[in-house]
Structure 1
């Protein structure tokens, strides 16, 4: 039985090799993939997924194409527009097809002379780019303005239903620590979950001007507004300190008269005996402002 089985195996193998070495004509399905889609067009979900090819080759080759199914890449940059279809001509791309599939056109024939890919026009819109850049400064340093992007908006195209609801796109996150000098760089856009849209650029430049800052303080009188004339009201403290951070070069420009702190009697709830101080005026070139007191106590004299 062992000897018989060995001879049977080799006989079957020999028969299979002989059969596969013969030439056959078969139709095989070649899967399609697409690259370089036009930014102003959206391919339809009904686009062709495969194309039929008549192959006249030895059985080995036909078996290979049926098992491994090599794909044909359709470069949409090489198509022509015909109505609402992109047309890929087989004859005009013989060399690329032959090289990718490893076929000889003397032994292979596509049943269709062209591949028609339906599309829909995309709507274009320019949307803002929002920086997702977190900066921690070294002691004594800060920035007068936030991170600047160049450009600060990008053109995007896609289905109208999506484009109309999209207001902005963030950048990928960047964290910079202990910064004490100007920084610049490039950052990619975060297009996660936006694969159905086409962005005309996928990254923007960012910059941040870092300056030497110092902290100062000024004493500002508290102004009380909207107190009824019938009330005799006393409040304290009558002055509070306003702490601020300013560029070292602008330190001498800071004047107490540039600040104003007010309390509004209209904002006092029944039963309360204090105001909440609010800073309503400040110089444009100072930041990180805080008040030494927020609650201003008051009493009503009878």
Structure 2
């Protein structure tokens, strides 16, 4: 029986090395050759005019014809660069924004890191269809939580400047919006006047363009003190002929007031009422509420809101 041929391990390693080396040389030779290839370069649009909405059918790429070695072409295919188109540099026709690529070759070269001696963009210009947006002024609603230090408060709520902003966008979206909120802001242990800037919360409103993206807020904060006044309870809407007895006859009204205005508070400025018509069947109490009070006091509360009553026969 003839012997099977055998190979030494050293010979197999040598053969494998030369095979691998030859393959590498072949790849390098092939990749060093010059090829012509068309590559799609994605585009994004910047500085879109606020009064215009770009059509969904707008071009999403330009075609770059490269005449280069395979290494560079492979790089552009794998690490596909993005071309930013500045629409503030486009011209306008009745239905399109026109961006002429030849007028911006140096900017494009810098962005894409290419040499136009070996490459060229096939398109001469980009036509971007648009529609005019509808404009509207909407109210800005603050979401600013102010927690005052002990003994401090404010007579007026937080003020915004401006308190409304102009927005533009597709008519269907514009018609559905009446206001926009600020981003949430929390201020703690406030003991002096506050002011600053807060951004608008445009979450979910990406179809709209805001002419102002932030507003200023302010509030006058002053030293406050707590006061109290004992006020008689007045019952209204009692049916004629009904003999009603109730208790307590008076309640204490607690309030906060600017320290400088403390002496101007008069008990005659308060009125506390119970409306008998609001009593539900089977109940033996009425709910007291502050009907009148000085305009400059805040945080008004009662020591007792349930007023018990009985009907005398």
Measured against the shorter chain, the TM-score band is over 0.9
For residues 276 and 167 of structure 1, the distance between their equivalents in structure 2, rounded to whole angstroms, comes to 37
Equivalent residue in structure 1 for 2:136, among 125, 136, 155: 125
Query: Normalized against structure 1, the TM-score is what?
Result: 0.94
Alignment equivalent of 1:161, drawn from 164, 172, 187: 172
Question: Which segment drifts farther, 80-89 or 11-20?
Answer: 11-20
Task: Name the CA distance, whole Å, in 1 between partners of 2:31 and 2:240.
Answer: 109
1:19-38 alignment runs, 5 A limit: 19-38=30-49
2:16 corresponds to which residue?
A: 5
Question: What CA deviation, in whole Å up to 9, does each residue of 1:63-122 have, x standing for no partner?
Answer: 222222222111111111222221110111111111111222232222221111122222
1:50 matched residue in structure 2: 61
Task: Give the secondary-structure state (helix, strand or coil) at the position aligned to 1:277.
Answer: strand
CA distance in 2, matches of 1:138, 1:61: 65
Q: Which range moved further: 256-265 or 52-61?
A: 52-61
Which residue, 60, 63, 77 being the options, matches 2:88? 77
Q: Is 1:192 matched with 2:200?
A: no
Which residue, out of 268, 274, 285, partners 2:285? Answer: 274
Match of 1:208 in 2: 219
The separation in 1 between residues aligned to 2:36 and 2:309, in whole angstroms, is: 100
The answer to whether 1:173 aligns with 2:177 is: no
2:3 aligned residue: none
Consecutive unaligned residues of structure 1, counting only runs of 5 or more, are: none
Q: Displacement of 1:140 after TM fit?
A: 0.9
**How many equivalent residue pairs?**
302
Q: What RMSD in Å do the two structures reach over aligned CA positions?
A: 1.6
Give the corresponding residue for 2:7. none
1:5: how far off?
A: 2.2
Deviates more, 1:249-258 or 1:23-32: 23-32
Bigger radius of gyration: 2
Deviation at 1:258, TM superposition (A): 0.8
